[in-house]
A and B are shown apart, each in its own frame.
Chain A
């Protein structure tokens, strides 16, 4: 006697699991984007523009310098946050989730150390505090 269970039998379940995994990954990535945008200090906008979210293995980095850029108005800071949220979210949407093995969030702003040493940030947290908050929320 022989009982054969064909691969097609599992196809629906496999598709459903893959869909769930994709949705969970997208939610996690969106949550992280939201956190980095909300927690970032904004003055000229260079630091928040330097965030990058990449599929694991992609080493593309962003580095925006504040030199020669004026401080933004309060309304300008808010729209800069929204602009960067939209940019990072469209990046998240562009991931190929079937091949995705993880993702990385980076910020290689050239003035990251000076922000870390600034004890008088008017908005947001310092980069090292952002890192701590991101990790703590996901432990």
Chain B
């Protein structure tokens, strides 16, 4: 039986992959070499909570975490490309929506942080808060 985290990751990654016009994606734990001058996304699954949802034997479990997507665009061209990318992702993962088919992951919030320079790129992180009961 697959780990629940595989199912959660899959639901979130499939959703990200279906967003139209997103650049290359540096999937977690797969080799990826960013090309200077080309935008890319770097998603990371960060589980933050696993706890019983109710008391008693064999309780249903509550899982919570963050799907962090770092939006990298070439440096020196202003922030608008990264802003647009971050907006697109926030729209795709809007709070109170659900993603996934066989496993439904609920979105708690979708928000971004301020951008910062990172080598040859300008990066804006988008944090997607999620939860699931199982």
Residues of chain A touching chain B, judged by Cβ–Cβ distance below 8 Å, are 117, 125, 128-129, 132-133, 136-137, 139
Contact = CB atoms under 8 A, between A and B. Distances in A.
Contacts, number: 30
Contacts of A139: 108-109, 129
A139 B128 CA distance: 13
Interface residues of B, number: 15
B123 to A, nearest CB: 10
A44 B108 CA distance: 37
A117 B118 CA distance: 8
A129 B49 contact: no
Interface pairs A-B: 10 shortest CB-CB: A136-B48, A133-B48, A136-B66, A137-B48, A132-B66, A129-B46, A133-B46, A132-B127, A132-B68, A136-B129
Interface of B: 44, 46, 48-49, 64-66, 68, 108-109, 118-119, 125, 127, 129
Nearest to B29: A119
B66 A133 contact: yes
